[in-house]
Amino acid sequence: MMNSQITSKVLMIKPVKFYYNAQTAVNNAYQKNLEENPELVEKKALDEFDALVNKMKSVEIEVDVIQDTSTPYTPDSIFPNNWFSSHKNNTLIIYPMFAENRRLERTKFLPNLKKLFLNETINIIDLTSFEKENKFLEGTGALVLDRINKIAYCSLSPRANEDVLDEFCKLTNYKSLKFHSAQNFNNISTPIYHTNVMMGVTENFVVVCLESISNLKERDALKNSILNSKKEIIDISLNQVLKFCGNVLELKNSHGKRYTLMSKSAFEGFTKEQIDVIKKSSEIIYSDISTIETYGGGSVRCMIAELF
């Protein structure tokens, strides 16, 4: 069976008490705590979540929504793509997570996730034992997968450890392409915490911030890998990374029509030429999720866990 890059079925988690997570903020420089009233932040985030889900459902993308519960408290539950990924033959991979309060998401939601597979046998690959060694690999946040060519692109960081990546590749027969990307915050060069902030792979194009990779050998290797996979490169700037232009995801609807999903911030951050390249191969769905981006430090791609 041919591998597919995109799916028409996804999982999203409707949050409870969504707010700034201090445990993840230590190495996610994109989070900001504006210290607004927590109830107001939660309400705005829920409205943004519902609006995005409704846009997806309106074009016949199948969205399974799991409702979060208040205990145990999991402030980042809205980003399920970090703790599991789904692969063909009912395979689920469960990942080691940096923040202790994010590890609770796995035990909390895995039973609901299994139910989505009805009574079929599920093959689970569990990488969580790496947490004992303080080694992490946060799902399709850390891994940007070219599922057709079986390449795992990974920007190494405190949340993307090389040993876990090698184990992932061994178990899945993926090849890895490792590099280091960084962005300046307050004039300090900071590793980009998740690969999917600066890169997204679709069927026909790849959004990537090449200037975030200062090692030219690594940059060329990444560029050549993308070109060899016959995909067009949309090269975004570090400024566009701040607008979450790298955090895009391509899905298809039940009729096989392709859609690229992104936030309003990302949509407004792309140039007209870049939007035209995207529109050549898929329609764009964008939604305002500014509260989620500000307090959570993640965008649309982080909110969507694909089901294959």
Q: Does domain 9-306 have CATH number 3.75.10.10?
A: yes
Residue 27: predicted pLDDT: 86
Name the least confident of 23-37, 168-182, 211-225: 23-37
Distances, alpha carbon 65 to alpha carbons 12, 43, 72, 305, in Å: 5, 17, 19, 11
Mean of all residue pLDDT scores within the chain: 97
Residue 191: predicted pLDDT: 96
Q: Do 240 and 262 touch, CB atoms closer than 8 A?
A: no
* pLDDT-above-90 percentage for the chain: 93
Question: Domain limits of the chain?
Answer: 9-306
Of 102, 137, 308, 288, whose CA–CA distance to 300 is shortest? 288
Predicted confidence band of residue 267 (pLDDT cuts 50, 70, 90): very high
Residue 216 tokens read as 């030219």
Residue 25: predicted pLDDT: 87
Question: Is pLDDT above 70 for 217?
Answer: yes
Question: Is pLDDT above 80 for 9?
Answer: yes
User: Tens digit of pLDDT for each residue in 12-29?
Assistant: 999 999 988 888 988 888
Give per-residue burial for 152-183: e unless 16+ CB within 10 Å, then b: bbbbbbebbbeebbebbbeebebeebbbbbbb
Sequence-distant (≥ 6) Cβ neighbours of residue 268 within 8 angstroms: 243
CA atoms in the 13 A half-sphere facing the CB of 82: 31
Strands, sheet with 305-306, edge to edge from the N-terminal-most edge strand: 62-67, 9-14, 305-306
Between CA 97 and CA 100 the distance in angstroms is: 7
Residue 1: predicted pLDDT: 64
User: Tens digit of pLDDT for each residue in 28-74?
Assistant: 889 899 889 999 999 999 999 999 999 999 999 999 999 999 999 99
Helices (H), the chain: 22-25, 38-58, 100-115, 139-142, 162-172, 216-228, 238-242, 264-269, 272-281, 290-296, 300-303
Residue 20: predicted pLDDT: 83
* pLDDT-above-70 percentage for the chain: 100
Predicted confidence band of residue 200 (pLDDT cuts 50, 70, 90): very high
